[in-house]
Structure 1
Amino acid sequence: MRNPKRVLAASTLIAEALVVFFATLAATALHREEQTSYLVAGGVVALLCVLCAGLLRSRAGYALGWVLQAVIVASGFVVPEAFRWTMVGIGVAFAGIWWGCLHVGTRVERERDLVARGLAERRPEGS
């Protein structure tokens, strides 16, 4: 059976990678002087989101996920002024979604374990 917390968290990170990629394109269109810097930084963050989704088999993957949430919120303060609060809002929204996925995923795992234990106790011996 799939780990619900991992599935939710990975889905969030992949969606976040897409949003970061498209936000990077918008930021470069608004601020042509720093185009290369924005493309490199945004590309690295989007790639890290995808890589982090693959690292969610360990606690380090979840820790990196939290670091990425902070980086994405902070990135709102380095993009062009016209795009600043939009990016901060996107970062805060995804950090909230990330927290929700971890919280709900953990609860689903716990409840699934309780149900499995209850079913195991009900089984007659020898079957």
Structure 2
Amino acid sequence: MRTLCSSTLIGEALLIMFAGLVAMKLTDVGAGTIWLVSGLAMLLCVLLCGVITRPGAVWVGWALQIGILASGLVLPTMYAFGVIFTGLWWCSVHYGRKIDTIKAERAAAQPA
């Protein structure tokens, strides 16, 4: 699960960076506000990569997805990207857990 979720989060951090650049040009929101919010979200994405296997980290990832969807209020194209990355997050968590289960079953089946 760690690899899939981390890949999604790094992609999301890049999306947030580029969305911040676009939002500076297309919205009336101040550049300082955009970079504060974008910077915190990017930092959260990167930090979450390191703790994704800890309890509650997946829920923080879901909260991040809601934040990405909510950023559509400032930049409407983020609604579409929010839906895409929410789907990717679900797939990363769902299939990542399946992969972890299969790996654990195979490791348990190996003779010592």
Unaligned runs of 5+ in 2: none
- The equivalent residue for 1:97 is 88
- The offset of 1:33, in angstroms, is 4.9
Kindly indicate whether the alpha-carbon contact (under 8 Å) linking 1:9 and 1:101 is maintained by their aligned counterparts in 2: yes
**Alignment equivalent of 1:112, drawn from 88, 100, 103:** 103
- The equivalent residue for 1:43 is 39
- The offset of 1:32, in angstroms, is 4.8
Rg bigger for which structure? 1
Unaligned runs of 5+ in 1: none
* Percent identical residues: 37
**Alignment equivalent of 1:76, drawn from 58, 72, 78:** 72
CA distance in 2, matches of 1:51, 1:114: 29
**How many residue pairs end up in the alignment?**
112
TM-score (norm 2): 0.90
Task: Name the SS of the counterpart of 2:53 in structure 1.
Answer: coil
TM-score (norm 1): 0.80
- The equivalent residue for 1:67 is 63
Q: CA RMSD in A?
A: 1.5
